[in-house]
Amino acid sequence: MMKQAYVNGEPISQQAVQFELDRLMKFYLSHGMRKEEIQANLEKLVARAQEQAIGAKLLILRAEELDIAVSDAEVDREVARVVQQAGGRENFMRALAEQKLSEDELRANIRKGVRVNKLVQQACQGVAEPTEDEVSAFYTAHRAEFVSEEQVLAQHILVKTEGLDEADKAEALEKIKRIRARIVGAGDAGDVGQAFCNEARDNSDCPSGQQGGSLGWFGHGQMVPEFDQVAFALKCGEVSDIVETQFGYHIILKTDEHAGGQQELAEVAPQIRDLLRHQARGRAMDAFVGELRERAKIEYK
């Protein structure tokens, strides 16, 4: 079990560690690490998250010590962004109530966050942007990591059969047959696509029906085998025959596909540049936080 960390006698909360862990997981997932790899390295990630939470606390204390100026206008902009993300003022106020947080308390937290961000910017001022040679060298050294899997973009309509007796199951089959007949009889590809969306919204038992049955992009193994096999075998624009899975009867419309394979430098350069920038800023911040740690009392109990 991980020991409780203290900075100058103040405990680092579990919420602070979890916040840093969520950030780490999101970053690594966005840069190609699989969920299985994250799970296998979870203990190390949690330990790193605790160290980052300690660093965040040191940054907060240093920013307060320097009394870095944050204007009301800067706080207002951040509050407006949070309100927009919440989907409007009403949802924003509801979220605050659920968190037992007043708007004044939120503004104080935001002011603290903006102050720390300014401190981080100061600490990273001398960090240079990755050069094209550095990006190219990283790609060459890690070329085997930049291989994309085969993926398809598809929509589906589901008529559930779970828990149904044989008579009701037969009725479900007839229902999806009628749906499919209306779709394929709609006309050309554009009409078929619109008909599929309409039928999904009106008749699908899957929540995706409200988005026209869209499942987004997915790779092999993300769907049940019967569905997976048909989706990848279809041609783009083609509507499947009826597919039976443990969930019920489906029809699938495949709209696009990626063959997968080696990704070229131009395709992954922004991702590499972001990673190198992150690493360089990380080294600068490690050095800066290291100096703060030397002046602070860090304990593990």
187 and 133 within one domain: no
Q: Which of 192, 170, 165, 197 is nearest to 181 (CA)?
A: 192
Q: 154 and 189: one domain? A: yes
Q: Which residues constitute the domain of residue 23?
A: 5-142+265-300
Domain shared by 278 and 169, yes or no: no
Residues 130 and 27 placed together within one structural domain of the fold: yes
How far does Cα 135 stand from its chain's mean position? Answer: 24
What pLDDT sits at residue 28?
Answer: 84
186 and 199 assigned to the same domain? yes
Pair 11, 136 in one domain:
yes
Question: What pLDDT digit, counting tens, does each position of 22-71 carry?
Answer: 988 988 888 777 888 888 888 999 999 999 999 999 999 999 999 999 99
Could you tell me if 233 and 283 lie in one domain? Answer: no
Q: What is the CATH number of the domain that holds 26?
A: 1.10.4030.10
pLDDT score recorded for residue 18: 93
Average pLDDT over residues 199-206: 96
What pLDDT, on a 0 to 100 scale, did the predictor assign at position 189? 64
Give CA separation, 234 vs 183, 198, 221, in Å.
16, 21, 16
Q: Is the pTM of this model over 0.85?
A: no
Provide mean pLDDT across the span 97-114. Answer: 93
**pLDDT for 271:** 93
CATH code, domain with 208:
3.10.50.40
Averaged pLDDT score across all residues of the chain? 93
- Residue 148: what pLDDT? 86
46 contacts 56 by C-beta, under 8 angstroms: no
User: What total of structural domains would you count in the chain?
Assistant: 2
Is the pLDDT at 237 greater than 90, yes or no? Answer: yes
**Residue carrying structure tokens 């019967």:** 226
